[in-house]
Amino acid sequence: QVQVVEFGGGLAQPGGSLNLSCVVSGSILSIYAMGWYRQAPGNKRELVAAITENGSSKFGDSVEGRFIISRDKTTVYLQMNSLKTEDTAVYYCNADLTGSYYYTGSARARVYWGQGTQVTVSS
């Protein structure tokens, strides 16, 4: 059974920083892409940042230039800087075994999700 466990989250001030990490474990040999997606109440889930095992990455338009994503074989990290109130959401870690979700967002992709961690940005 694959486990996806997020660490971090919490409360930050506007303009502040917060770091998230996610550890993927289980009987899998490789993970093509790992990333973070977020969902605020009433909104659709949206890309925050994702990264492939070869180091390619992409970011949601609203976080480009503010967030940094990195990874090793089993762990993905998200460094969130210059936080804004609109960054408030539940952040979900995604492990994308084949790359289908990374490239297309397919609902049929072989992906595993973490339980989500709340990030709240408020003054």
- Summarised one tens digit per residue, pLDDT across range 78-122 is 999 999 999 999 999 999 999 999 999 988 888 999 999 999 999
Q: How many CA atoms lie within 13 A of 66 on its CB side?
A: 17
pLDDT at res. 20: 98
Residue type at position 100: S
Share the mean pLDDT of the chain: 96
Contacts of 61 (CB under 8 A, 6+ apart): none
Q: Could you report the per-residue pLDDT of 59-75, keeping only the tens digit for each?
A: 999 999 999 999 999 99
Give per-residue pLDDT as tens, 44-60: 999 999 999 999 999 99
Residue 92: what pLDDT? Answer: 98
**Residue 114 corresponds to which tokens in the numbers above?**
């973490």
Please tell me the predicted confidence (pLDDT) of residue 29.
83
For residue 86, give the DSSP letter.
Answer: G
